[in-house]
Amino acid sequence: MSAERLAMNARIIDEFRANDGLVGGDFDGTPMLLLTTTGARSGEPRTMPLTYLPDGDDRLVVFAANGGRPNHPGWLHNLLADPGVTVEVGARRFAATARIAEGPERERLWAAKLAVMPTLADFQARAGARRIPVVVLCGLRSARPH
């Protein structure tokens, strides 16, 4: 990831944490979470701000769009290596397990996200042959302030 994108993400993460999950600018009014994975090579925590789709009481869904780039985002590589993640929503932090949605579940979640974020279709078109993974964050538990 470029230094510019890292700096932008750091600003979003700081704003998110300072304002109990609210972020302005381009993300004003957009449901966002912070996803912390364990670096597959480094073993270090890696936090990314992502938009999400709620799905039931204990599941959130994120989309590995990577802005429509032809490669998957690094956070997906990390959670495939270790599906145990930490999710921050608002002022709460949860332990969760990540998994890739497949089949009818994936299609249902994809359609639901397209309904609220039509630009996701543009990302898929730019990604070409890479099918954007739909990631379900399951079993959110251990809520605690961050």
What's the CA gap between 125 and 112, in Å, rounded?
18
Per residue in 38-86, pLDDT (tens digit) is 999 999 999 999 999 999 878 999 999 998 899 999 999 999 999 999 9
The pLDDT confidence band at residue 142, using thresholds 50, 70 and 90, is: low
The three-class DSSP label of residue 15 is helix
pTM summary value:
0.90
What's the CA gap between 79 and 119, in Å, rounded?
25
Reference 92, options 142, 146, 49, 137; nearest CA is 146
At the fourth CATH level, the homologous superfamily of domain 3-145 is Electron Transport, Fmn-binding Protein; Chain A (2.30.110.10)
Do the Cβ atoms of 93 and 145 come closer than 8 Å? yes
